[in-house]
């Protein structure tokens, strides 16, 4: 029988908890043996779910680090700015790592994480879940097979008159498209407490009362026009690669469908298109025919792992399989590819802030190819 992979969860919030459920549904493949989180309700919740020995429950990951290695891998799902510390520390300790995206918030920290993981011969998988999504894999498969030939060539808004600082106290909330009551509370009133409603509950219990209190006193209930959140709400990134191929990425926060991705790739022999989960459609310029390619979706995905339309499951399945089989090729988001894409994003952000074209040299030889123990 294949060995069961033991895992320590660092950060027991929404993402850490979701990934941990792989152990609940596939106990012969993964077992959660430890948890570290500064919030008592979060770590106690995971302790109960996975029957974790109390000696392996920590309020700080640094305390867990003082112990001899007691798990095969760590899942790091701390806030973005707190990724670097545990990633480097546990890599030096020999733990394989599943790291929530982004790797870190600066290019230098991303490079250091990759370098340390390689130096210690540990597997690093970054949670770009959609790379494991069947539709994404089918797109890559068709492009690699040459199905279409070669690839060709915040607004500052003012709040409405009469608006309050919080949605629960606002007289114009009913006509506001960004009402927190519509986004969170109305879903809760219909019995829906998964994401995004779950992130509002800061007590560890998701019910009408905790959602209401979260909107009344927490960050999610603030007026969108008065918030100090500087994350871009819409963005267009234009890229030109060596050889002349171009790509355009458009992100928009304000959509009817949540997290819906559409992909179009134009080639010299055809055109590829995918809406959401597929099928992936290829139009052949020569035959003028369109072919639909179904995606290889699993027949069973547990509800706890249905995040990103099931991509959470495919990510965990690949990571655990990679460790079990000592086969890093099963990781779609390993050190090299992930670092290169992170560096590209950092440069795109520099281009946006400085309002100029930025050139980036992508070097494949950035790090030597690792060997895994």
Residue-wise pLDDT for 284-332, tens only, equals: 987 889 999 999 888 788 888 888 888 899 999 999 999 999 999 999 9
The pTM of the whole model exceeds 0.85: no
pLDDT computed for residue 365 by the predictor: 42
What is each CA distance from 215 to 169, 198, 300, in whole angstroms?
10, 12, 35
Rg (the chain; Cα; Å): 22
Q: Which residue, 2, 67, 26, 1, is CA-closest to 305?
A: 26
Q: Which residue, 66, 52, 38, is CA-closest to 8?
A: 52
Other Cβ atoms closer than 10 A to 268: 12
Q: Which residue, 247, 262, 321, 250, is CA-closest to 139?
A: 262
How many CA atoms does the CB half-sphere of 54 hold within 13 Å?
1
Bridge partners (DSSP) of residue 5 are 30
Residue 156: pLDDT band with limits 50, 70, 90: low
Tell me how far the alpha carbon of residue 118 is from its chain's centroid: 22
Top pLDDT among 366 and 126 is at 126
What tokens were used for 324?
């079990």
Residue spans per domain, the chain: 5-133+308-333, 134-154+230-293, 167-221
Average pLDDT over residues 329-355: 91
Write the pLDDT tens digit of every residue in 206-239: 899 999 999 999 999 999 888 877 777 788 999 9
Write the pLDDT tens digit of every residue in 323-332: 999 999 999 9
Average pLDDT over residues 86-98: 97
Q: Quote the CA–CA distance of 30 and 24 in Å, as a whole number.
A: 8
Residues 91, 97 contacting (CB under 8 angstroms): yes
Residue 148 confidence (pLDDT) above 90:
no
Q: Which residue, 91, 49, 47, 85, is CA-closest to 69?
A: 91
Q: Quote the CA–CA distance of 91 and 86 in Å, as a whole number.
A: 8
Q: Quote the CA–CA distance of 5 and 73 in Å, as a whole number.
A: 8
For all residues of the chain together, what is the average pLDDT?
Answer: 89
Residues 370, 335 contacting (CB under 8 angstroms): yes
Residue 370 confidence (pLDDT) above 70:
no
Residues 208, 188 contacting (CB under 8 angstroms): yes
What tokens were used for 91?
């890599």
Write the pLDDT tens digit of every residue in 169-192: 999 998 888 899 998 999 999 998
10 Å CB burial of residue 197 (0-12, 13-18, 19+) is buried
Residue 372 confidence (pLDDT) above 50:
no
Residue 63 confidence (pLDDT) above 60:
yes
CATH superfamily, domain 5-133+308-333, is NAD(P)-binding Rossmann-like Domain (3.40.50.720)
Residue 203 confidence (pLDDT) above 90:
no
pLDDT computed for residue 193 by the predictor: 86
pLDDT computed for residue 86 by the predictor: 97
């Amino acid at each position: 029988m294949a060995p069961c992979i033991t895992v320590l969860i660092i950060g027991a919030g929404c993402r850490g908890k979701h990934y941990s459920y792989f152990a609940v549904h596939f106990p012969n493949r993964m077992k959660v043996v430890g948890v570290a989180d500064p919030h008592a309700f979060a770590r106690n919740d995971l302790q109960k779910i996975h029957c974790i020995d109390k000696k392996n429950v920590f309020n700080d990951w640094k305390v867990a680090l003082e112990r001899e290695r007691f798990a095969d891998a760590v899942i790091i799902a701390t806030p973005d700015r707190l990724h670097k510390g545990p990633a480097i520390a546990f890599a030096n300790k020999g733990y394989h790592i599943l790291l929530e995206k982004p790797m870190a918030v600066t290019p230098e920290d991303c490079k250091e994480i990759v370098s340390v993981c390689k130096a210690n011969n540990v597997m690093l998988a970054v949670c770009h879940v959609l790379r494991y999504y069947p539709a994404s894999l089918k797109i890559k498969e068709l492009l690699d097979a040459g199905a279409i030939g070669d690839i060709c060539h915040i607004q500052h808004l003012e709040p409405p008159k009469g608006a309050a600082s919080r949605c629960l106290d606002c007289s114009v909330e009913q006509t506001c498209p960004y009402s927190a009551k519509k986004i969170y509370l109305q879903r809760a009133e219909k019995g829906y407490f998964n994401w995004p409603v779950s992130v509002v509950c800061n007590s560890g219990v998701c019910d009408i009362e905790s959602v209401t209190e979260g909107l009344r006193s927490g960050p999610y209930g603030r007026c969108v026009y008065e918030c100090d959140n500087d994350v871009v709400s819409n963005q267009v990134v234009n890229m030109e690669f060596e050889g002349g191929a171009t790509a355009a990425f458009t992100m928009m926060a304000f959509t009817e469908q949540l997290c819906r991705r559409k992909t179009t790739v134009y080639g010299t022999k055809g055109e590829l298109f995918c809406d959401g989960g597929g099928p992936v459609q290829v139009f052949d310029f020569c035959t003028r025919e369109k072919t639909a390619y179904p995606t290889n979706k699993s027949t069973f995905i547990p509800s706890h792992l249905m995040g990103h339309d099931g991509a959470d499951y495919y990510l965990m399945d690949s990571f655990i399989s990679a460790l079990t089989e000592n086969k890093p090729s099963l990781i779609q988001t390993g050190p090299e590819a992930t670092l290169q894409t992170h560096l590209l994003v950092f440069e795109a952000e520099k281009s946006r802030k400085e309002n100029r074209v930025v050139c980036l040299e992508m070097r494949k030889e950035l790090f030597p190819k690792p060997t895994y123990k």
